[in-house]
Copies of this chain bind each other. A is one copy, B any other.
Amino acid sequence: MPVGTQATVKGLLPDQLQWVGSKMVLANTYHLALRPGEAEIATMGGLHSFMAWDGPILTDSGGFQAFSLSSRTKLTERGVAFRSHLDGRLLDLTPERAIQIQQDLGADVAMCLDHCPALPAEKAAIADATERTVRWARRCKDAHTRPDQALFGIVQGGAHEDLRGWCARNLIEIDFDGYAVGGVSVGESREEMRLALEASTHLLPADKPRYLMGVGRPQDILEAVSTGIDMFDCVMPTRNGRNATCFSDEGPVKLRNATNRGDSRPIEPGCDCPACLQFSRAYIRHLFVAGEMLGPILASIHNLAYLHRLMRRIREAITAGRFVQLRSEVLGALGP
């Protein structure tokens, strides 16, 4: 899922998202609740109609941003109290409120409010956050009333196998429509990511979506799929794109580099995205150097197309029984 934080995947129209292969997008509850507010979006017929996106939309719970973007955040058993990073307003995010906002936004998939502790942390602190995550998940499930909206639980527990397992089993008992592995993208090492995934994913029902939040590096996607993950979201394709860095099977392409002067090759030879089919590295470098909006747009288009193609290759390889081969080919070319 590309990330459309403020109800727009930065710089792209819905048509363009469809061209690059996006089927589902993520929008951020925290940002939208602050601006323009879920009430206005509900008045406009919900997120789909507001942002003119026909495909499925997943919203997060807002909890992660309440911790990472706000100041003077206060955690209690009731929920999270924080000040808006936009205007300092005091706001209150409880499990019930997180669900209410997401129901008003009209997402197809809502996420439970979870407690993702700042890492590194003592195991006791992680255990405390994990237990709270389960208690909040139960309150979310109880508060959730919208029958046309799926609700996913989030497994926490850091890199601790026992905590991850305990959390997963408790969430499964509550019974959600899908399950996410959380707390993995946030400043953890690849080794810790692997531990968390290996302790979590195999416990989650194989007949329901398994979603790794906030991960989008091609190498990490391949590792995560190995453990059974189905879904991802990440700002990398669009954020890196805006910073002139593109994915390719031969590693990152830095479009601002002077070596791209006069280079008539596309970002990635062989790529069939609208950026690669039409434009040279020389042109896109020129756009970035000249500060033109079209540079970030084209790089974002390529990066999204690259990741959607990677996922398509993964699905085809799994079906054909050659996923392990694909993984070693791609990791061999990209490096760790």
Contacts and interface: CB of A to CB of B under 8 A. Distances in A.
**Size bracket, chain A contacts:** 35 or more
A88 interface: no
A13 B44 contact: no
A51 B278 CA distance: 8
B274 A10 contact: no
A264 interface: yes
Nearest to A31: B290
Nearest to A51: B283
A206 interface: no
A51 B282 CA distance: 10
Contacts of A6: 286-287, 290, 292
Interface in A202-252: none
Given A35-B286, A50-B280, A11 B11 contact: yes
Given A13-B294, A15-B274, A43-B262, A7 B283 contact: yes
Contacts of A262: 40, 43-44
A36 B282 contact: yes
Given A35-B289, A52-B278, A274-B15, A10 B294 contact: yes
Given A13-B297, A274-B15, A44 B280 contact: yes
Contacts of A31: 290
A287 B283 CA distance: 28
Given A40-B262, A43-B262, A7 B50 contact: no
Contact of A286 (B7, B12, B278, B290): B7
A280 B264 CA distance: 40
A297 B11 contact: yes
A336 B7 CA distance: 38
24 contacts: A6-B290, A10-B292, A10-B293, A11-B293, A11-B294, A12-B294, A13-B274, A13-B297, A13-B298, A15-B274, A35-B286, A35-B289, A36-B286, A36-B289, A40-B282, A43-B262, A44-B262, A44-B280, A45-B264, A50-B282, A50-B286, A51-B283, A52-B279, A293-B297
Given A11-B297, A13-B274, A35-B290, 9 more contacts: A6-B292, A8-B287, A11-B293, A11-B294, A13-B294, A13-B297, A35-B286, A36-B289, A293-B296
